[in-house]
Chain A
Amino acid sequence: MKPTTKLCLLSLVSAPVTVWAQANPDIQSRLAAVEAAAKSAQSAGDNAWMLTCAALVLMMTGPGLALFYGGLVRRKNVLSTMMHSFILMALVTVLWAIVSYSLAFGGDAPFIGDFRFALLNNVGSAPNTDYAPTIPQQTFMVYQLMFAIITPALISGAFAERMKFSAMLLFMVLWALLVYSPQAHMVWGKGGLLSASLGGKFPCFDFAGGTVVHITSGVSALVCALYMGKRIGYPSDTMKPHNLVISVIGACLLWVGWFGFNAGSALNASGLASSAFVATHFGAAAAALGWMLGEWIHNGKPSMLGGISGCVAGLVAITPASGFVQPFPALLIGFVAGIVCFLMVAVIKQKFGYDDALDAFGVHGIGGTVGALLTGVFATNLVNDGFKDSAGRVLPLGLVDGHPAQILNQAIGCAIAWGLAIVGTLIILKICDALIGVRVSKEQEIQGLDVGLHGEEGYILEA
């Protein structure tokens, strides 16, 4: 049917209905009831999806990241490493309820939120229409909380096997307040400096956290690795991953959980969520192949550790792009990230000699930056038509839409995230070092942190 014919038919049908409805108050109230029912049905669908996504993202930290990182360290440090991820599920939650949700999503200032949602004041079943108009604000709040949990947990890969638990707790509290909340507000908050959809000065596309989650955590990880110094015996002593089997399980849980992370960032159960889901999966797949290929050529053998490292690098890189790019660019972004992160971790890091124990920088810092920049290239309004000018026309997004200036916006977003992470983390480490001391004693480090700090062992084979 031609659009014009359709229009004529519609007006033929709707005009008398409107007149008739106005004449019958009973019909009008029934129409209102139907509208309310439709709205409530959409809300039910969106809410069901978003609660599922929140649970999926929590699963990424525990057990996902805990297993992934836990398997990569030496046997004597498995529990202390898993504890880093696990305890943040508790610590960041409390902090989020008290103040950090409000600092990320309250108000409309350019750099950081305010205290309007402190102690979860006014955060209830009514939606926050600035962010997610179809779901309760509580759902939005708890979904965003899961991001705030995994982000600092990613950093722990850099200081694994040598940081004091007490200093780690203080570090994480300060980091959540001084780095995560401002960065999240700048990119996703109303009026944030880098906000693409809510009036930012430099609109940076970051669908699910390339800058907010991965650049901040990855760059902070590098600062931690440089500040804390190498583990005793690195790199001459053998520091092989003690259990790659649990790392594989962890990485696969990350892959699955990432659907909640990226597709959920649509904040509803729309076609955009499907598009982000597909892009996420394709990015991970291509990156696993990319890393494996690089390794195969460079070392002569493809490894399981290479495969899982690649898939995580791809998931990182596709995170900012997931709600903006089509499937084939997603494959390309993943593949590039797989190769680049492999070179960073296996070749360039070896030349510099810093001890980023579990490669949080090489994978998250570099993968996040690659993904954020490539988002400026491949973002297209064929996927995301939510950006419109004042006349309601859909705007071009990235280079492929004929908007090369977006790459500059992406670079500004990356630069601010890098800067905030470097400065913030350095100050926080200085504070922790002065108050507590960041590094365990030599004896504890040699004995292992499980016994030294926690008084327990991961594997008791004679029991």
Chain B
Amino acid sequence: MKKIEAIIQPFKLDEVKEALKSIGIDGMTISEVRGHGRQKGHKEVYRGQEYNVDLLPKVKLEMVVSSTRADEVIKTLAGAARTGKIGDGKIFVYDVAEAIRIRNDDRGESAL
């Protein structure tokens, strides 16, 4: 099993969700996060007081899929989230030791 963690532009969330749904990935957890990589922030001015905002709003998606599907999921996700500009985000992939469904103690891939 692999855990796929993607940090994407917030406005790409719907497109990414639709794309993953179309290849049969329904389960995911998302959070609203802030951060930045190489993307520079922007300037905000409130009554002459300037602030450089460099932690930008992003959306983090997390999902665990079977190892055989990981590449397909990554490809679909990256395709849907890409604009080609700095700030599109990143995808990280981890090995997952175990998965347990709390409702009935299913384990492994059958718990996904």
Interface contact A305-B47, CB-CB below 8 Å: yes
Tell me if A's interface is mostly helix, strand, loop or mixed. helix
Interface contact B49-A359, CB-CB below 8 Å: no
- B29-47 contacts to A (CB < 8 Å): 44-47
| Chain A residues with CB below 8 A from B44, complex form | 240
CA–CA, A305 to B25, complex, Å?
A: 44
- In the complex, A116 has a CB within 8 A of chain B: no
Interface contact B51-A301, CB-CB below 8 Å: no
Interface contact B47-A346, CB-CB below 8 Å: yes
Interface contact B48-A349, CB-CB below 8 Å: yes
Residue interface mask A298-337, B partner, CB < 8 A = 1: 0101010110010000000000000000000000000000
Closest 9 CB pairs of A and B: A346-B48, A299-B45, A345-B47, A350-B48, A346-B47, A238-B51, A240-B46, A305-B46, A241-B46
Q: Mark B residues whose CB is within 8 Å of A.
A: 44-49, 51
A-B contact count, CB below 8 Å?
26
CA–CA, A305 to B44, complex, Å?
A: 12
Interface contact A239-B47, CB-CB below 8 Å: no
**A239: contacting residue among B45, B48, B49, CB under 8 A:** B49
CB A218 to nearest CB in B, in angstroms, measures 15
- Which chain A residue lies CB-closest to B49? A235
- In the complex, A347 has a CB within 8 A of chain B: yes
- Which chain B residue lies CB-closest to A298? B48
- A347-379 contacts to B (CB < 8 Å): 347, 349-350, 359
| Chain B residues with CB below 8 A from A347, complex form | 48
CA–CA, A419 to B51, complex, Å?
A: 36
CA–CA, A309 to B47, complex, Å?
A: 9
CA–CA, A240 to B42, complex, Å?
A: 14
CA–CA, A295 to B49, complex, Å?
A: 12
Interface contact B48-A301, CB-CB below 8 Å: no
Sampled A-B contacts (11; CB under 8 Å): A239-B49, A240-B51, A301-B45, A303-B45, A309-B47, A346-B47, A346-B48, A347-B48, A349-B48, A350-B48, A359-B47
CB A294 to nearest CB in B, in angstroms, measures 10
| Chain A residues with CB below 8 A from B45, complex form | 295, 299, 301, 303, 346
CA–CA, A24 to B48, complex, Å?
A: 77
| Chain B residues with CB below 8 A from A235, complex form | 49
| Chain B residues with CB below 8 A from A306, complex form | 47
CB B57 to nearest CB in A, in angstroms, measures 14
CB B4 to nearest CB in A, in angstroms, measures 28
| Chain B residues with CB below 8 A from A241, complex form | 46
Given contacts A235-B49, A239-B49, A347-B48, 17 further A-B pairs with CB under 8 A are A238-B51, A240-B44, A240-B46, A299-B45, A301-B45, A303-B45, A303-B46, A305-B47, A306-B47, A309-B47, A345-B47, A345-B48, A346-B45, A346-B47, A346-B48, A349-B48, A350-B48
CA–CA, A350 to B47, complex, Å?
A: 10
CA–CA, A345 to B45, complex, Å?
A: 12
Residue interface mask A406-430, B partner, CB < 8 A = 1: 0000000000000000000000000
CA–CA, A349 to B48, complex, Å?
A: 9
From A238, A241, A305, residue with most partner B Cβ within 10 Å: A238
| Chain A residues with CB below 8 A from B51, complex form | 238, 240
CB B19 to nearest CB in A, in angstroms, measures 30
CA–CA, A173 to B86, complex, Å?
A: 57
| Chain A residues with CB below 8 A from B48, complex form | 345-347, 349-350
CB A462 to nearest CB in B, in angstroms, measures 15
- Which chain B residue lies CB-closest to A347? B48
| Chain B residues with CB below 8 A from A240, complex form | 44, 46, 51
